[in-house]
Structure 1
């Protein structure tokens, strides 16, 4: 009788959609086999714990170039797919034709991130993955006569989320490629569009349709049970005059589209996911300006010092900024630093003072330590860009940085004195 009751409870929990939550909140997460993944103890190490001991913070990696492939990050992969001459997924699919493109992209999705990668991330004490996706994941949204994107991605997205959920990871899914492209000439939108075509009502409507569909998919597929946050558009233009309607129209409607899906599905408010725009520090304006309801909102902060013209390009200046920059100063909360790296400006990155090697390893080790400690002090945590690359440069690859000894095998073991003297 007791066994039957317990079994019934486990089955009920498995069928229950994900609650809106952040690391450190007290809730139980069950794997498909009924194993309780939340705060599970281990006699030998912490890799089986739902979250890192006593941290309550997001510590994660992006799955960059999985579903929105950026040629600069994975040039060998891009070339092997037959996409070498082309600037973006849109261009490659258009050139290869739909059938051939589907085959090569599905092979990429099948191999770029494997279950072994998820296991390795877990062994490194990470607790979160952020997955960039494009609106074309919802294939019915694509204009078949004028838009060209690979098909079949949803099954692979479900699979990787299933692996991550079974391993106890918190999952953020981010709309990285918006309809029409939110910035021009950038492959991280999925298309090297000559202009940003996103900031029009009909494109906003397509994006909100995608978000409603994504929330419904998350609810209906148990593999997505650990998705707790949806990013509603990645890195929009940093010019409030060009994109005022992003805040006045798209943000409120995106929020409403996700909440409508939850309402239509009968999801109670305590089971909502967090809705996440970029924060004010991104310089696209105050995302809260026109939001009358901010229940279960969250905010995305991206911090690449290499792109900040106000920070002097020196190791001392980078350490000082990393130690003292307060990423919560805009008041947006909860905030997650959804992207950052230890990369440096292109014009100096391979000079003797900055190139990876024995003479700079101590700097990069302490630079990472300073960044993550300040992020954890001021925000709800961080997600590194990215897990892997083909650059041969650990500054853009968490996996390579751990292998090089620059990032410890558990981020809880970074140098606590990294900021001493800065």
Structure 2
């Protein structure tokens, strides 16, 4: 039997278990000192998977090249199928992409958390479609998807971390990750978009305030916007004042209805620029960073370790992946050595072996891609139907290729269930 160790952190006793011995928690997660603990005060090392592609399509996951935010993908499908068939395609996409079988696979593999990338338009109307400019219209689809995911995660002791991946208006110049329409005002250019973002988080917090298997609220995924006229993605901004101000406003709205859940922040410049951070304004904050295509060295994570040391708050690797198994193994070993939890990206992609499940497209899908890339003729409607509805059927876990080598690079042995 492994024994707990009690240490002093910021004037309080924190009981932690040896690394790796507590991987499935019970009760609400919260920040305690610079660690994440469960409802019994036990440290929880988050080992998570990001569900990229389910609520929000990114073109590269479908093997599309270049700029392909979801609204453009959808318009291309409408061109080939018409609006009614396109709506049916997206309904089936949401039904097939993530099922109880997927959650069972993750649980058996040893994952204890899921990061859910959300598109705001499954929860509320865009500001330009609101009948009342000062009101919010709520849509059932997104909430029902969360509820369904929770029903699968709850019995398997898997936490669901809500991640606003596509904020109203779009939070950056990387349009693919946030489905931004550059013909409309961004999140940062429109006060109504920011008000809708705040209202959405308040609505989510109100609905899930008493749900312990919601692990936390990841407020805005990878903001990448220069507020100071520097590098356009915000990597060189020095104060990031509008970002911190919006985070504070969202926090106040959440705390009006929910005192239970962790609030997770990400810096500018795709999540990693924390210059100007004023320090914690809430006693249950976690700072997130993202890590792609850089060395797995102490130097690579030193800025985030310093944030943890300086402010005495937990840090979390909220997104990483898209590399080789050797890189995966080294990255996980590095962050876990420093008691940092993580969420990998993504769970499922078309014709990729760097994820848990590889989706094999039907033969007709290649004709579709050739047309969309300007390398082939327009397919007939019949071919487009077989390509797209065949693809959506192949999203089912039982039709995908399971990449155990990827899973074991992340978690060599499954944790206790």
Give the TM-score normalised by structure 2: 0.66
**Deviation of 1:160 (Å):** 1.3
SS of alignment partner, residue 328 of structure 1: helix
| 1:235-246 superposed matches below 5 A | 235-237=222-224, 239=226, 241=228, 244-246=240-242
Q: Tell me, in whole angstroms, the C-alpha distance in 2 between the residues paired with 1:386 and 1:323.
A: 25
1:215 aligns with 2:205: yes
d(CA) in 2 for partners of 1:160 and 1:253? 28
Aligned to 2:192: 202
Call closer, same or farther: CA 1:105–1:194 in 2, change over 3 Å.
Answer: same
Instruction: Structure 1 unaligned segments of length 5 or more: list them.
Output: 1-16, 29-37, 39-53, 79-83, 263-268, 309-317, 344-363, 415-422
Per-residue deviation, 1:107: 0.8
User: Do 2:171 and 2:225's aligned partners in 1 also have CA atoms closer than 8 Å?
Assistant: no
Decide which moves more: 203-212 or 84-93. 84-93
Question: CA 1:154/1:89 → structure 2, altered by over 3 Å: closer, same or farther?
Answer: farther
Aligned residue for 1:87?
68
**Cα distance, 1:257 vs structure 2:** 1.1
Following superposition, the deviation at residue 233 of structure 1 comes to 0.7
Task: Give the distance between the partners of 1:410 and 1:182, measured in 2 at CA.
Answer: 30
Aligned residues of 1:184 and 1:192 also touching (Cα < 8 A): no
Q: Which of the numbers 347, 350, 357 marks the counterpart of 1:387?
A: 347
2:9 is equivalent to residue 19 of structure 1: no
Which whole-Å deviations, capped at 9, do the CAs of 1:247-272 have from their partners, x for residues lacking one? 3421110111111122xxxxxx4xx2
Q: Distance in 1 between matches of 2:95 and 2:331?
A: 33
Tell me what 1:227 maps to.
214
- Is the 2:272–2:289 contact (alpha carbons within 8 Å) kept by the matching residues of 1? no
Distance in 1, Cα, partners of 2:176 & 2:140: 18
User: What is the distance in 1 between the residues matched to 2:114 and 2:288?
Assistant: 14
Tell me if the contact between 1:135 and 1:178 (Cα under 8 Å) persists in the aligned partners: yes
Q: CA deviation at 1:366?
A: 3.4
**Structure 1 range deviating more: 199-208 or 119-128:** 199-208
- Which structure carries more strand by proportion? 2
1: distance between equivalents of 2:125 and 2:184?
24
Residue among 74, 91, 110 paired with 1:125 = 110
Supply the distance in 2 between the matched residues of 1:302 and 1:101 (Cα, whole angstroms): 33
2:321 corresponds, among 319, 329, 341, to 341
Residue 166 of structure 2 aligns with which residue?
A: 177
- Could you tell me how far apart the structure 2 residues matched to 1:248 and 1:123 are? 38
Distance 2:225 2:58 in 1: 21
Does the residue aligned with 1:165 lie in a helix, a strand or coil?
helix
Q: Which residue of 1 aligns with 2:369?
A: none
- Matched residue of 1:405: which SS? helix
Q: Residues 334 and 379 of structure 1 are in contact (CA less than 8 Å); yes or no, is this contact kept in structure 2? A: no
Question: What does 1:12-411 align with in structure 2 at a 5 Å threshold?
Answer: 19-21=28-30, 25-27=37-39, 56-75=44-63, 87-93=68-74, 96=78, 100-140=85-125, 142-144=127-129, 152-184=141-173, 186-193=175-182, 197-199=186-188, 200-219=190-209, 225-237=212-224, 239=226, 241=228, 244-262=240-258, 269=259, 272-279=260-267, 282-286=271-275, 288-289=277-278, 293-305=281-293, 318=295, 321=297, 325-326=301-302, 327-331=304-308, 333-343=313-323, 364-390=324-350, 392-395=351-354, 397-399=355-357, 403=403, 405-408=405-408, 411=411
Instruction: Normalising by structure 1, report the TM-score.
Output: 0.65
How has the CA–CA distance of structure 1 residues 256 and 126 changed in structure 2, closer, same or farther, with 3 Å as cutoff?
Answer: same
CA contact (8 A) 2:29 2:39 kept: no
How far 1:412 moved relative to its partner? 4.6
Contact 1:302 1:340 in 2 (8 A): yes
TM-aligned CA distance change 1:376 to 1:239, over 3 Å: farther
Cα shift at 1:141: 5.3
Residue 59 of structure 1 and its aligned partner are, at CA, apart by 0.5
CA contact (8 A) 1:388 1:399 kept: yes
Give the CA RMSD over aligned residues.
3.7
- What is the rounded CA distance, in whole Å, between the counterparts of 1:283 and 1:405 in structure 2? 29
Number of equivalences: 319
CA contact (8 A) 1:60 1:130 kept: yes
CA distance, structure 1, for counterparts of residue 276 and residue 256 of structure 2: 20
Secondary structure of the corresponding residue to residue 149 of structure 2: helix
Distance 2:38 2:66 in 1: 50
SS at match of 1:408: helix
